[in-house]
Amino acid sequence: MHFAAFIEVGESVIEPLKFYENNVANSVRLLNTLKQNNIRKFVFSSTCAIFGTPEKMPLTEKTPMSPASPYAKNKLVVEWALADSATAWGLGFVALRYFNAAGAAADGTIGEDHDPETHLIPNVLKVALGQREAIKVFGTDYPTPDGTCVRDYVHVEDLAVAHVRALEVLRPGEQRFYNTGTGQGASVREVVEVSRKVTGHPIPLIEEGRRAGDVPTLYADNALIRKELGWAPKYNDLESVVASAWNWHSNHPRGFDDRS
């Protein structure tokens, strides 16, 4: 299972070669190692960003691909390298196209801790912890019901289960691609509202301009992964996703530095 990558879309625009080196070249090196060692099963962390700004929602596996950033292109190039490897030397792989990975381990041991933190849910919870004054909302004039961007927040434990299921069904030479999301979209304002409820904190927000590269709406059609892997997200509502994240952040206000 290959998870490692640089993930910040904005940084990928500024430093594309750094991203191609780590995300593409290093993945190719890894594939060479698999080939040399006769390993024929592989699960790859891909992304719904490969679809770019789609015309129709929800996103199915047949939605045309149009990656907008170097990061998204990196992931798509690796999908192509995997497909060609399946044909040429019998690699079996599953590419799981993550939507917005969110939440924390139910047992409270693992959570989200990036530096700098750019993701919405941890940033909202930092306001509830008193570490930030307010959450900046990037864009309130999108063509969405409340004007803010809509995303599909899929819980990390559900994503983890998808990987296990993928490995169980995978056969050498087989190629599979799955859009891995809950199938439900939530707006930035909805995330803030649910976080107020979960934390009991007023979480003030500041309306800012749009962030470069954001698309209005992304959510998955997860029918294929449900059917073929028997996968179904256990965390079906935003509140349970945010509550699990809050459990971790409130017990680890300094992230993994608070690990004892």
Residues that bind ligand UDP (CB under 6 A): 100, 118-120, 123, 135-138, 149, 151, 188, 211, 214
Q: How far is the CB of 71 from ligand UDP (least distance, A)?
A: 10
Q: How far is the CB of 37 from ligand UDP (least distance, A)?
A: 33
Angle of helix 188-199 versus helix 120-128 axis, rounded to 10 = 40
Give the residue closest to ligand UDP by C-beta: 149
d(CA 11, CA 190): 27
| Nearer to ligand UDP among residue 10 and residue 200 (C-beta) | 10
| Nearer to ligand UDP among residue 91 and residue 245 (C-beta) | 245
Query: What is the 8-class DSSP label of residue 108?
Result: S
- Residue tagged active-site, from 71, 142, 219, 235: 71
Q: How far is the CB of 117 from ligand UDP (least distance, A)?
A: 8
Q: How far is the CB of 241 from ligand UDP (least distance, A)?
A: 12
Neighbours of 242 (CB within 10 A): 28
Query: What is the 8-class DSSP label of residue 256?
Result: G
Closest alpha carbon to 48 in 25, 32, 69:
69
Alpha-helical runs (H) found in 170-255: 188-199, 223-229, 238-251
| Active-site residue, 98 included | no
End-to-end CA distance of the chain: 28
| Nearer to ligand UDP among residue 140 and residue 175 (C-beta) | 140
| Nearer to ligand UDP among residue 68 and residue 106 (C-beta) | 68
Q: Which residues are catalytic?
A: 71
